[in-house]
């Protein structure tokens, strides 16, 4: 019969026929017997007991509690109960327990722990106040039940609910909670935080070639490498598949964020050694910063996603900050990708050739393959516009394959001393069919391999270094010449360059961008590279040369070859054939090359703040340390301005050079890489600062940081006048 039924029977005077009748001579338990029962309960772990004095100090604690926690019971007697038994879990139990003791009220159900490390014991605690016959408070007495196993089980279940089972990082649900809590708290305290979205490049290739088990091991190693870079600076999560997320509190410096993103990209680009084999991947990173790019989780996450998408479609292995124009850019890119695929099928991608000139005698010694897209609606589209889209969508392999075959057929008709230079993207170079494509193009055309020069950029070496060396070696054995473009980006070591079979180093236009000290660019660095090339017995080619002044400066520093608008733009195959009809093809440089080059700048129209006036000027060029502006008359050297690039970007600058309506500016703080080949300020005007002026706290727009325009000021006369070449309010953005 159940215990409760027997008890009810006794209380109603009924006897249990299955149990013997109570003895008339039964005596109450003695004090010693009662203590024995309590000791038995304690030893068996069914119940443990504790007591305090009126001041809350421990006067008794079951020895088993101390023994299970690895603590001597004598070390606990006399200490405050709240110091011996530490509340665990959530709900603020620590102050509640202290308040209960102070209020001298009964309590139950408090979860506490005693001990540290692996000997921690978790108890469910109950207690009641004790008074003497006169009502004086004597202290507390209570009991505790061992709930260690149940508590740890609950903790593990909660951890698994918040953690990614494979990597141990936070999962999507946990990251959403952390982001929500952080944005809420930081919004109240007007603090910033950054969100990084990471997507692995070439991860599917690992799964396909080495198997899903290898893919899982790779994800674990990726998690460890990200942790080694981020450390304790942020919360890292895996959202599923090959997507990761990093939340970085109190960080809005885009210089530091860019450096961190580069470290992650570099770390994940290093080869992974798995049991199933060696593999190389990479990653792209999108970065959004609250409150500049979003004040809520959905808004901030979407901004980081858009930045990630832009990074992946800008060539992969890159980072990108969110900008408000990314949505329009995304739509245009998707449309261009669809149109480009149709253009390839329709044969609208044509090949052209830009002459490479030997500066010793101005003779054309090589022709570099270039692509142009003749679109019925867009007109003539340059490769700079559509090739990044082609590379991101892998359409570049089809364009490159067709272009290589056509170029080899054309080059076979040229004089024997004229080489064909074919730039090859990393996507095309590491394609499985690339070596076969080169072999087929040479066989079909009959072109001498010594006349074919494959040109690769240093960024190729972000990929699997072993695979790249294998392809390079195969091309060299076939007799094909090799040249290295984008030299100086840091992916090729000098020791590798010394033993690699390159015949030429090409210096890109980044070396020839105007600086504060020299409008022709960083010519001291050019000189150093020329000296290095002489030691290694390599030719040097300067690309993008657009002016006579730059050409003469490069010639004086020992550059052996050059190409650019100062000599010739790219020519169609028919134009090349016409030029080659003469026995000797020489090109004299032209002085209007700079005008035909159509230089590209990051910004065209910017705001300029001086005292309480706001002007609009034209930005001619931009470097990390300064800029050249055009549009204000009679500005003396030493004048200090604030340039407003829009989107909350303000840069303090000082005029260091002036000539009519053109000024050279030096920035107080250097600009940083924006992840898209441009520059940006480290910090932006915070939406919290704008809120002080009455604006709502919201993500920044693309417009000026300050509400001003033209020459309107705060009452004082304007110091400068706009020149005829300055943009006016309402002018179209160039």
| Domain at 731, CATH number | 2.40.10
Question: How many CB atoms neighbour CB 399 within 10 A?
Answer: 23
pLDDT per residue over 343-398, tens digit each? 999 999 999 999 999 999 999 999 999 999 988 888 888 888 888 888 878 899 99
Domain assignment present for 172: yes
In degrees and rounded to multiples of 5, residue 601 shows phi and psi of: -120, 160
Q: Are residues 572 and 449 in the same domain?
A: yes
Domain assignment present for 183: yes
Task: Give the count of alpha carbons within 13 A of 456, CB side only.
Answer: 26
In degrees and rounded to multiples of 5, residue 241 shows phi and psi of: 60, -130
Q: Kindly report the pTM of this predicted structure.
A: 0.63
DSSP secondary structure string for all residues of 355-386: EEEETTTTEEEEEEEEEEEEETTTEEEEHHHH
Q: Are residues 213 and 247 in the same domain?
A: yes
Check: CB of residue 114 under 8 Å from CB of residue 86.
yes
Q: Which two tokens stand for residue 113?
A: 């722990």
Please give the pLDDT value at position 95.
54
Q: Are residues 428 and 558 in the same domain?
A: yes
DSSP secondary structure string for all residues of 39-95: HHHHHTTS-EEEEE-TTSBEEEE-HHHHHHTT--HHHHTTSBHHHHSEE-SSS-HHH
Please give the pLDDT value at position 27.
66
Please give the pLDDT value at position 204.
85
Edge-first strand order for the sheet with 235-240 is 235-240, 243-249, 193-201, 282-290, 319-321
In degrees and rounded to multiples of 5, residue 730 shows phi and psi of: 95, -10
Domain assignment present for 331: no
Q: Are residues 312 and 235 in the same domain?
A: yes
Domain assignment present for 3: no
Q: Are residues 509 and 475 in the same domain?
A: yes
Question: Helix 326-346 vs helix 383-392: angle between axes, to the nearest 10 degrees?
Answer: 90
Domain assignment present for 17: no
Q: Are residues 588 and 689 in the same domain?
A: no
Domain assignment present for 226: yes
Please give the pLDDT value at position 648.
86
The dihedral of CA 493, 499, 502, 503: what is its sign? positive
Domain end among 93, 118, 153: 153
Please give the pLDDT value at position 703.
59
Mean pLDDT, consecutive 10-residue segments, the chain of 734 residues? 39 48 63 73 78 91 80 85 77 60 85 75 89 91 86 72 85 92 90 95 85 92 95 92 95 94 91 86 93 92 93 82 81 85 92 94 94 86 84 88 95 93 91 93 96 88 75 93 79 72 83 58 79 89 86 89 91 91 83 45 72 87 86 90 89 91 90 82 84 64 50 60 58 39
Q: Are residues 79 and 140 in the same domain?
A: yes
Residue range of the domain that includes 147: 31-153
Please give the pLDDT value at position 697.
65
Q: Are residues 557 and 609 in the same domain?
A: no
Q: Are residues 671 and 522 in the same domain?
A: no
Please give the pLDDT value at position 8.
40
CATH of the domain at 58: 3.30.450.20
Q: Which two tokens stand for residue 290?
A: 């609250």
Domain assignment present for 35: yes
Q: Are residues 53 and 187 in the same domain?
A: no
Q: Are residues 87 and 210 in the same domain?
A: no
CATH of the domain at 568: 3.20.20.450
Domain end among 543, 565, 597: 597
Q: Are residues 536 and 388 in the same domain?
A: yes
Total domains, the chain = 4
Q: Residue 153: in which H helix or E strand, if any?
A: helix 148-162
Please give the pLDDT value at position 560.
92
Q: What span, in angstroms and rounded, lies between the C-alpha atoms of 501 and 520? A: 31
Domain end among 153, 172, 206: 153
Please give the pLDDT value at position 656.
92
Domain assignment present for 2: no
CATH of the domain at 180: 3.30.70.270
């Amino acid at each position: 019969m159940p215990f409760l039924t027997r008890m009810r029977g006794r209380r109603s005077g009924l006897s249990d026929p299955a149990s013997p009748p109570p003895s008339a001579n039964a005596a109450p338990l003695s004090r010693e017997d009662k203590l024995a029962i309590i000791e038995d309960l304690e030893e068996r772990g069914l119940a443990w007991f504790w007591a305090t004095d009126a001041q809350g100090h421990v006067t008794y604690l079951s020895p088993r509690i101390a023994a299970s926690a690895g603590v001597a019971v004598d070390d606990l007697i006399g200490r405050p109960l709240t110091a011996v038994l530490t509340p665990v879990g959530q709900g603020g139990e620590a102050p509640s327990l202290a308040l209960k003791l102070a209020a001298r009220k009964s309590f139950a159900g408090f979860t506490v722990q005693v001990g540290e490390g692996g000997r921690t014991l978790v108890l469910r605690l109950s207690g009641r106040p004790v008074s003497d016959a006169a009502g004086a408070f004597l202290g507390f007495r209570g009991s505790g039940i061992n709930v260690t196993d149940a508590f740890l089980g609950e903790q593990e279940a909660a951890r698994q609910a918040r953690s990614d089972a494979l990597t141990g990082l936070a999962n999507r649900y946990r990251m959403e909670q952390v982001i929500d809590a952080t944005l809420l708290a930081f919004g109240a305290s007007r603090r910033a935080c950054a969100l990084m979205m990471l997507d692995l490049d070439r991860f599917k290739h690992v799964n396909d070639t080495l198997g899903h088990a290898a893919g899982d091991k790779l994800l674990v190693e990726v998690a460890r490498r990200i942790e080694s870079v981020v450390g304790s600076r942020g919360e890292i999560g895996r959202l599923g598949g090959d997507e990761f997320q990093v939340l970085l509190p109190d960080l809005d410096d885009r210089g530091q964020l860019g450096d961190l993103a580069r470290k992650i990209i570099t770390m994940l680009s290093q080869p992974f050694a798995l049991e199933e084999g060696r593999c190389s991947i990479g990653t792209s990173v999108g970065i959004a910063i609250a409150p500049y790019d979003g004040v809520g989780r959905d808004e901030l996450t979407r901004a980081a996603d858009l930045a990630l998408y832009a990074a992946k479609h800008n060539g992969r292995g890159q980072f990108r900050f969110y900008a408000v124009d990314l949505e329009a850019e995304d739509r245009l890119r998707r449309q261009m990708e669809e149109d480009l695929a149709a253009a390839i099928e329709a044969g609208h991608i044509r090949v052209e050739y830009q002459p490479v000139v030997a500066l010793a005698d101005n003779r054309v010694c090589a022709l570099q393959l270039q692509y142009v897209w003749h679109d019925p609606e867009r007109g003539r589209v340059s490769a700079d516009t559509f090739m990044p889209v082609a590379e991101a969508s892998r359409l570049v392999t089809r364009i490159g394959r067709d272009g290589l075959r056509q170029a080899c057929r054309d080059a076979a008709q040229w004089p024997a001393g004229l080489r064909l230079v074919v730039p090859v993207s990393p996507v095309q170079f590491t394609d499985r069919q690339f070596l076969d494509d080169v072999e087929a193009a040479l066989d079909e055309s009959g072109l001498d391999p010594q006349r074919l020069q494959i040109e690769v950029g240093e960024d190729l070496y972000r990929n699997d270094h072993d695979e790249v060396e294998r392809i390079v070696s195969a091309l060299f054995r076939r007799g094909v010449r090799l040249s290295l473009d984008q030299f100086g980006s840091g992916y090729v070591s000098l020791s590798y360059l010394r033993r690699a079979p390159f015949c030429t180093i090409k210096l890109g236009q980044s070396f020839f961008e105007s600086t504060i000290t020299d409008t022709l660019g960083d010519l001291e660095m050019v000189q150093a590279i020329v000296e290095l090339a002489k030691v290694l017995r390599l030719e040097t080619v300067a690309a993008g040369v657009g002016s006579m002044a730059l050409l003469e400066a490069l010639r004086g520093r020992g550059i052996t070859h050059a190409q650019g608008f100062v000599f010739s733009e790219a020519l169609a195959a028919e134009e090349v054939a016409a030029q080659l009809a003469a026995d000797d093809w020489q090109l004299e440089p032209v002085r209007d090359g700079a005008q035909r080059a159509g230089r590209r700048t990051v910004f065209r129209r910017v705001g300029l703040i001086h005292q309480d006036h706001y002007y609009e000027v034209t930005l001619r060029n931009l470097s990390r340390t300064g800029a050249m502006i055009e549009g204000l008359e009679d500005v003396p050297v030493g004048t200090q301005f604030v340039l407003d690039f829009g989107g909350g970007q303000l840069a303090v600058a000082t005029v260091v050079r002036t000539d009519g309506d053109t000024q050279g500016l030096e920035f107080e703080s250097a600009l940083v890489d924006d992840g898209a080949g441009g520059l940006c300020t480290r910090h932006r005007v915070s939406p919290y600062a704008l809120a002080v002026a009455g604006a709502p706290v919201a993500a920044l727009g693309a417009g000026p940081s300050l509400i001003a325009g033209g020459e309107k000021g705060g009452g004082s006369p304007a110091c400068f006048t706009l020149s005829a070449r300055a943009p006016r309010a309402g002018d179209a953005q160039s």
